[in-house]
Amino acid sequence: MKLTRRVKEILSWYESDNPGTKANLARILMEGKLGGTGRLVILPVDQGFEHGPARSFAPNPAAYDPHYHFELAIEAGLNAYAAPLGPLEAGAATFAGAIPTILKVNSSNSLASAKDQAVTGSVADALRLGCSAIGFTIYPGSEYAFELMEELRELAEEAKSVGLAVVVWSYPRGPNLDKVGETALDIAAYAAHMAALLGAHIIKVKPPTEAISLEAAKKTYQAHPIEVQDPAKRIAHIVQACFNGRRLVVFSGGEAKSADALLNEVKAIHAGGGNGSIVGRNAFQRPKAEALQLLSNIIEIYKTKP
Amino acid sequence: MKLTRRVKEILSWYESDNPGTKANLARILMEGKLGGTGRLVILPVDQGFEHGPARSFAPNPAAYDPHYHFELAIEAGLNAYAAPLGPLEAGAATFAGAIPTILKVNSSNSLASAKDQAVTGSVADALRLGCSAIGFTIYPGSEYAFELMEELRELAEEAKSVGLAVVVWSYPRGPNLDKVGETALDIAAYAAHMAALLGAHIIKVKPPTEAISLEAAKKTYQAHPIEVQDPAKRIAHIVQACFNGRRLVVFSGGEAKSADALLNEVKAIHAGGGNGSIVGRNAFQRPKAEALQLLSNIIEIYKTKP
Amino acid sequence: MKLTRRVKEILSWYESDNPGTKANLARILMEGKLGGTGRLVILPVDQGFEHGPARSFAPNPAAYDPHYHFELAIEAGLNAYAAPLGPLEAGAATFAGAIPTILKVNSSNSLASAKDQAVTGSVADALRLGCSAIGFTIYPGSEYAFELMEELRELAEEAKSVGLAVVVWSYPRGPNLDKVGETALDIAAYAAHMAALLGAHIIKVKPPTEAISLEAAKKTYQAHPIEVQDPAKRIAHIVQACFNGRRLVVFSGGEAKSADALLNEVKAIHAGGGNGSIVGRNAFQRPKAEALQLLSNIIEIYKTKP
Amino acid sequence: MKLTRRVKEILSWYESDNPGTKANLARILMEGKLGGTGRLVILPVDQGFEHGPARSFAPNPAAYDPHYHFELAIEAGLNAYAAPLGPLEAGAATFAGAIPTILKVNSSNSLASAKDQAVTGSVADALRLGCSAIGFTIYPGSEYAFELMEELRELAEEAKSVGLAVVVWSYPRGPNLDKVGETALDIAAYAAHMAALLGAHIIKVKPPTEAISLEAAKKTYQAHPIEVQDPAKRIAHIVQACFNGRRLVVFSGGEAKSADALLNEVKAIHAGGGNGSIVGRNAFQRPKAEALQLLSNIIEIYKTKP
Amino acid sequence: MKLTRRVKEILSWYESDNPGTKANLARILMEGKLGGTGRLVILPVDQGFEHGPARSFAPNPAAYDPHYHFELAIEAGLNAYAAPLGPLEAGAATFAGAIPTILKVNSSNSLASAKDQAVTGSVADALRLGCSAIGFTIYPGSEYAFELMEELRELAEEAKSVGLAVVVWSYPRGPNLDKVGETALDIAAYAAHMAALLGAHIIKVKPPTEAISLEAAKKTYQAHPIEVQDPAKRIAHIVQACFNGRRLVVFSGGEAKSADALLNEVKAIHAGGGNGSIVGRNAFQRPKAEALQLLSNIIEIYKTKP
């Protein structure tokens, strides 16, 4: 399978990584309907941990079965499927080699009070399950942010040494951040940047709002203004924060919403130079046919020339 | 010993596990009067740790002797016997090969104030004692939930690598949960789901009540209603939360209660598609003859075609 | 499953072993048609290594498939199935829990010139494949005998620590032994005794001939004569050499031979107090129906009261 | 990428392997022009070690450059490329993700006198270089055969635990084998069988000649005759020796020869049910255009329905 | 490359270090336009972590790209470039061997509330990225100061054992220190001294003010007065605190300021015997040409005879 020029260019950004990690990034980038374009759509299913089974799967009960998500990701022609240990164990043999997988190695849940996560998977698990990457969430701003970063550091170092890629979910929250702050443009850019600084290969953040939240940052954004009303410009700023585009950055779809709202978000990501989407609830909470249609529409947007 | 078709089907769900772990699951599933049916009755005796000796054994003083529990489980034709390190050390040689055992590797006690557990057994202990599985309790919702999950992760990875099965007791408790919440349907489903996500082979939860406790979940259960008055429907929801039935789930008998109350619970578990019961106090706190009769009645229910 | 009195008695001989090893011995002793009698018939299939595939399997080509041997052992109601790594890997998941397996961890072959064996399996392999025991061949008399014994020592120590049993194939050969010597009564007794001395739980030797081979031993046998013409007396002497019966000893069937010849051998083993047979080529080189009949006949002999 | 039914069937043979190893086997089986057919053509370039650079590459000097072989394998649409450490280090980053690679972890050379090999690569190397498998040569019959098998055992156990596949080159040689013996039908079948017994996922042997070499085996082949004049029947016997087809077996092209001679060999492999070819010198010693044509012709043969 | 006498003298101060660490110190001291003089100018880029991407790079957007900083440091003829993991991974291969690098192995950020840092890099990372040193920040006075020191101890020990140098950023802050105190002369001297006591090879502090902050220290400074109005005398006092000049000490430029202000500071450092400057924001937040001019002016000052 010849890599496209674009994928080769992307791999060249990861110049310190060993060929094993590059090969796993290549596998993700060459898979599915966007294979070779440098754009990505990933299916993440960690909402069972985050919100519980009913809130995650009752809208589409077929999704209670871990095999469903493998099938959805494969049929939709996505680039990768991300999940915690249990669901991957429940399907990794049946779908071995059929789609790159990302083992989410830490997890939080709605019953917990701390803005922390438990480490629930290992690099050895990722290898025995045939994963291409590990996924890890950090909460910049949380009282546990430093611990989370240190856990990530350790797991990422090990993952890279055995040729796995590292995907970092960077979700700001904590005592210094109100609801607005968690998705404010400056904070989202900061969160993405920290993931890059920590050595992530692929960064996942939420699409930012127009808000500028950090007092200390306001002066900067006034002096160097961004057209925050234009969502594509906001995305472009996040891309800038990811080493000026030298690191892949994908955006979560967030809560289930109307197809139109989601597609508009995707258009902005596309226009702003984001590398793709990571669509969970908006995919698996819809009936399969509807989900496949929606994912197909998303993919079509990413396929158009920017 | 030829495995039944049903047991082979169940083993096929554990597709990422090595043959050692599958063999130990098979041993449990083929043992006793329910052997081959895919249903399970397990005798757990960790109440000495949880409640102290007198509260556990004074009602039936023969039960102070660890040999008593092996004998009870074997005579009753159960699938497995679960206990902490000490009782297994006290009987594992006498009853070697007579019944599959589960080493409970963490334990709490009534003198402790923290909603935590101490790790009191190891995978090496389980191997030298000839156990088929390790058992581990998590307290979703507790301040120690993340630590417990991380301990489980480490022990489960090791257990699986040497061919043991992993049984997870998932008991919600903690600052965000009142007494009602601990056994509420949504919380029980969530607890069972988390055990599955963490890679449990067999999940143990309490039979859920009709309550829906988590504020954030209420909307979901209104939109996708469950007939919560029907205990079998509640069980079926728990089964759904266990990867749509791809993971074995058994239900605890809870506090000692009337035989009728217990048998009604078992009928609901059976009707709802639960895989069986884990009956401790209701078994060993009764005189042996009475206990054997009760366990026999439970087994009869599980033997009827659903 | 209640152990029989006889099996409990046998387990009592292994008084230094941990309950894990006892449980695995119990599994072997309680399995199949002889389950509980203290007698054993084991199917060993390491002839592919020793003699090559065609010499082993051409007489009954179905036997080229590793699944065939699992099926044969299970259908015949044997106590265990022993094989090298590859065949166990090829069937251990399909037949998980269906019959105790013994991983043969060293192997020789007909292309080799040295009377040595290669270590071709590990204790970790045995655990992940769900085996009850490891099997190991020593060649007392060979130039490599000390090395083989030292390898056995190390593997046996590890196996026992994780609750596995140890089966030793003790086959005398080497510069001081001619063809007669290799199966001479004194040498066979000596070989069995060395296996016992090395810590074997189950000892496998060839049925001895009438010959007394070792010059130094002849005086003793003259002073303390054995009725060597009576094959049962020869077997009884081997049993004596196995700690006066405190260690299980089974006898190989050797080359394919007539059913009658084999059954006569088995009668002698039975009469002499041997614990059973390990029948390879005589089983799998016959068409399945014939093999099942023969194994059934063998089992019948062992079932009669001695 | 949906796996074909045939590839899923093949993966099912490897029932004890973890999903990681299955995924790597799937990658090899789904790659290139034969992707999904269950047939394989692999490019091995270890002749530089075996015969020195000039004997290997002077006929086609472009082949001195390690990148050449990656390109050849990719352009020809092969399933995998196998090489020692150095050449993979020299190209694995440039061609990351473009073709599955096999790290040959032991190597011999023409300056050595012993029929042994040096271990020249590790499992960690394979992971950091992004390989799908390790490759290892054994010399059944050599004075070093046992050592080689023990090295293989250790490396294979480690490789399997981290999700890599194991390819074994089984080349009989040694004091008991003359030139005829090294490729005799019985010996080749024996060599292939030993690789399977040792736990190989893919077995590589030379196409066998009509000769039956081992004295002890002649009687068997007379009693159970094979039409040795028919090369397809000889191949079919090798397939039989590989667990009756439960293990993939590929055949080396051997010395550079005429295209017609090679294609005839391939037709026999195809007709006899062999899984494919591993073509080194016959590929890279020809000018590239000629090599691509020859490989294309080989692939066409494997694509026809048997 | 012959070392200068001055560099040899400096190396002689590090008499307990192994030749590997000395060689890395020599590399830093011999690099760039100040190579051989014993003076240093280092470019540190950890502000992305500390202040976020926009506050760091919006004034000069080219600086969003990690390659920019390598280029700036090389073109300006600096001695070394210091950065966290991500930026070094993004450029270390392209600029391998082009300039000594320092891996900043801990990091804080503006979203955090604790005066702590996360360990975000390892000694192994530094080795694989070809760094000459690790950099570590301590906060003397913080509630986390002891933890930070202990982390430093461990990392420094490991770094030294593998021949890396250790650069310590010593920034006083915490409950007992007001804004004045953080840069007061006595506190700065104390902070520098603690870094030296902890085994730093190169110490980085802020240029001290005239203030004497610690109540307990005032008497001493009255008894042994320093001409605090003279910035060179203040620098000289810091040098004194660094083992009377036996440890290299460099001074940060602090917030972006006018070129004149910065050059005056540098003159004082030079006059006071400081070893150099570590100039971040004042370099990379200016347009490149302007930054190169400024750095050139700084270098010129350090080149004049004191």
pLDDT in tens, C267-297: 999 999 999 999 999 999 999 999 999 999 9
Q: Is residue E14 in some structural domain?
A: no
Nearest to E267 by CA among E300, E296, E243: E300
Report residues of chain A scoring pLDDT below 50: none
The alpha-carbon gap from D39 to the nearest alpha carbon of chain A, in Å, equals: 17
Q: What per-residue confidence (pLDDT) applies to B254?
A: 67
> DSSP letters of chain C?
-PPPHHHHHHHHH-TTS-HHHHHHHHHHHHSSTTTTTT-EEEEE--HHHHH-HHHHHTTSGGGGSHHHHHHHHHHHT-SEEEE-HHHHHHHTTTTTTTS-EEEE-EE--TT--SS--EE---HHHHHHTT-SEEEEEE-TTSTTHHHHHHHHHHHHHHHHHTT-EEEEEE---STT--HHHHH-HHHHHHHHHHHHHTT-SEEEEPPP-S----HHHHHHHHHS---TTSHHHHHHHHHHHTGGGTSEEEEE--S---HHHHHHHHHHHHHHT--EEE-SHHHHTS-HHHHHHHHHHHHHHHHS--
Q: Check if the beta carbon of residue B70 is closer than 8 Å to that of residue B99.
A: yes
Please report, for residues A105, A171, A228, B248, the alpha-carbon distance to residue A179 in angstroms, rounded to integers and kept in the order given: 26, 12, 18, 40
Taking only the tens place, the pLDDT of each residue in D64-76 is 999 999 999 999 9
Any CB–CB contact under 8 A between D16 and chain B? yes
Q: Check if the beta carbon of residue C96 is closer than 8 Å to that of residue B23.
A: yes
Which tokens hold the place of C208? Answer: 């001895």
Q: Check if the beta carbon of residue C274 is closer than 8 Å to that of residue C235.
A: yes
User: Given a contact as 3+ CB pairs under 8 Å, which chains touch C?
Assistant: B, D
Nearest to D213 by CA among C59, C110, C50: C110
User: Given a contact as 3+ CB pairs under 8 Å, which chains touch E?
Assistant: A
The CA-based dihedral angle spanning residues D106, D111, D112, D116, taken in that order and rounded to the nearest 10 degrees: 30
Residue from D95, D122, D161, D164 whose CB has the most chain A CBs within 10 Å, to mutate: D95
Q: What per-residue confidence (pLDDT) applies to B115?
A: 83
- Chain B residue numbers with beta carbons less than 8 Å from the beta carbon of C161 are 124, 127-128
C202, β-bridge pairs = C167, C248
User: Given a contact as 3+ CB pairs under 8 Å, which chains touch B?
Assistant: A, C, D
Range E52-80 average pLDDT? 97
Taking only the tens place, the pLDDT of each residue in C135-158 is 999 999 999 999 999 999 999 999
Any CB–CB contact under 8 A between A182 and chain E? no
Number of domains in chain C: 1
Q: Is it the case that residue D98 has pLDDT exceeding 90?
A: yes
Any CB–CB contact under 8 A between A101 and chain B? no
> DSSP letters of chain E?
-PPPHHHHHHHHH-TTS-HHHHHHHHHHHHSSTTTTTT-EEEEE--HHHHH-HHHHHTTSGGGGSHHHHHHHHHHTT-SEEEE-HHHHHHHTTTTTTTS-EEEE-EE--TT--SS--EE---HHHHHHTT-SEEEEEE-TTSTTHHHHHHHHHHHHHHHHHTT-EEEEEE---STT--HHHHH-HHHHHHHHHHHHHTT-SEEEEPPP-S----HHHHHHHHHS---TTSHHHHHHHHHHHTGGGTSEEEEE--S---HHHHHHHHHHHHHHT--EEE-SHHHHTS-HHHHHHHHHHHHHHHHS--
**Cβ contact B18–D19 (<8 Å):** no
Residue from D146, D178, D197, D238 whose CB has the most chain C CBs within 10 Å, to mutate: D197
Q: What per-residue confidence (pLDDT) applies to E21?
A: 97
Residue from B89, B127, B132, B201 whose CB has the most chain C CBs within 10 Å, to mutate: B127
Q: Is residue D17 in some structural domain?
A: no
> What residues contact residue A236 under an 8 Å CB cut-off, 6+ apart?
A272, A273
Any CB–CB contact under 8 A between B222 and chain A? no
Q: Is residue C24 in some structural domain?
A: no
Q: Which residue of B has its CA nearest to C22?
A: B96
Nearest to C14 by CA among C156, C112, C183, C205: C156
Any CB–CB contact under 8 A between A25 and chain E? no
Q: Is it the case that residue E209 has pLDDT exceeding 90?
A: yes
Q: Which residue of A has its CA nearest to E111?
A: A141
**Cβ contact E112–A190 (<8 Å):** no
Please report, for residues E4, E46, E160, E246, the alpha-carbon distance to residue E100 in angstroms, rounded to integers and kept in the order given: 18, 16, 16, 22
Range B31-43 average pLDDT? 97
Q: What per-residue confidence (pLDDT) applies to B110?
A: 85
Q: What per-residue confidence (pLDDT) applies to C306?
A: 67
Q: Is residue C16 in some structural domain?
A: no
- Catalytic amino acids of C? 204
Q: Check if the beta carbon of residue C208 is closer than 8 Å to that of residue C185.
A: yes
Q: Which residue of D has its CA nearest to C67?
A: D243
Q: Is residue E175 in some structural domain?
A: yes
**pTM of the predicted protein model:** 0.96
Any CB–CB contact under 8 A between A61 and chain B? yes
**Cβ contact B18–D16 (<8 Å):** yes
Q: Which residue of C has its CA nearest to B124?
A: C162
Segment holding D222, helix H or strand E: helix D215-223
B39 three-state secondary structure: coil
Among B13, B177, B246, the residue with its CB nearest the CB of A111 is B177
Q: Check if the beta carbon of residue C224 is closer than 8 Å to that of residue C186.
A: no
- Catalytic amino acids of A? 204
**Cβ contact E111–A174 (<8 Å):** yes
Any CB–CB contact under 8 A between A44 and chain B? no
Range E218-233 average pLDDT? 94
Q: What per-residue confidence (pLDDT) applies to E257?
A: 78
**Cβ contact A96–D127 (<8 Å):** no
Do β-strands C106-107 and C118-119 pair in parallel, antiparallel, or remain unpaired? antiparallel
Any CB–CB contact under 8 A between B19 and chain D? yes
- Chain B residue numbers with beta carbons less than 8 Å from the beta carbon of A111 are 140-141, 145, 172, 174, 176-177, 187, 190, 214
pLDDT confidence band for D234 (50 / 70 / 90): very high
CA atoms within 13 A on the CB side of C270: 19
Q: What per-residue confidence (pLDDT) applies to D111?
A: 85
Question: Which segments within chain A are labelled E, that is strand?
Answer: 40-44, 80-83, 101-104, 106-107, 118-119, 133-138, 165-170, 202-205, 248-252, 276-278
- Chain A residue numbers with beta carbons less than 8 Å from the beta carbon of D124 are 161-162
Enumerate residues 131 to 170 of chain A having a beta carbon within 8 A of any beta carbon in chain E.
140-141, 143, 145-147, 149-150, 153, 157
Q: Is residue A21 in some structural domain?
A: no
Any CB–CB contact under 8 A between C97 and chain D? no
Backbone angles phi, psi at A272, to 5 degrees: -85, 0
Any CB–CB contact under 8 A between B31 and chain C? yes
**Cβ contact E55–A220 (<8 Å):** yes
> What residues contact residue D303 under an 8 Å CB cut-off, 6+ apart?
D33, D34, D37, D39
Any CB–CB contact under 8 A between E287 and chain A? no
Its domain, for residue E67, covers: 33-303
ipTM attached to this prediction: 0.95
Taking only the tens place, the pLDDT of each residue in E69-118 is 999 999 999 999 999 999 999 999 999 999 999 999 999 999 998 889 99
Range D212-238 average pLDDT? 95
**Cβ contact D157–C84 (<8 Å):** no
**Cβ contact B18–D18 (<8 Å):** yes
Report d(CA D286, CA D46) in Å as an integer: 16
Q: What per-residue confidence (pLDDT) applies to A17?
A: 97
Whichever domain contains D205, its CATH number is 3.20.20.70
The alpha-carbon gap from D20 to the nearest alpha carbon of chain B, in Å, equals: 9
Distance of CA C151 to the CA centre of its chain: 18
Backbone angles phi, psi at A62, to 5 degrees: -55, -25
Taking only the tens place, the pLDDT of each residue in B228-253 is 999 999 999 999 999 999 999 999 97
Q: Is residue A267 in some structural domain?
A: yes
- Chain D residue numbers with beta carbons less than 8 Å from the beta carbon of A3 are 96-98
Report d(CA B196, CA B20) in Å as an integer: 20
- Determine the angle formed by the axes of helices E66-75 and E288-303, rounding to 10 degrees: 40
Report d(CA D275, CA D266) in Å as an integer: 10
The alpha-carbon gap from D18 to the nearest alpha carbon of chain B, in Å, equals: 6
Distance of CA B11 to the CA centre of its chain: 18
Any CB–CB contact under 8 A between C130 and chain B? yes
Active-site entry in D33, D104, D160, D204: D204
Q: Which residue of A has its CA nearest to E57?
A: A241
- Chain B residue numbers with beta carbons less than 8 Å from the beta carbon of A54 are 186, 189-190, 217, 220-221, 224, 237, 241
Report d(CA E82, CA E79) in Å as an integer: 10
Q: Is it the case that residue E184 has pLDDT exceeding 90?
A: yes
Segment holding D107, helix H or strand E: strand D106-107
Report d(CA B41, CA C176) in Å as an integer: 60
Range D258-275 average pLDDT? 96
Range E113-130 average pLDDT? 94
**Cβ contact C53–D189 (<8 Å):** yes
Active-site entry in B204, B219, B257, B288: B204
Q: What per-residue confidence (pLDDT) applies to E72?
A: 98
The residue written with tokens 């790790």 in the block is B119
Considering chain B, what percentage of its residues have pLDDT values greater than 70? 99
Q: Is residue D39 in some structural domain?
A: yes
Any CB–CB contact under 8 A between C89 and chain D? yes
Q: What per-residue confidence (pLDDT) applies to B206?
A: 96
Report d(CA A138, CA A169) in Å as an integer: 6
Do β-strands E106-107 and E118-119 pair in parallel, antiparallel, or remain unpaired? antiparallel
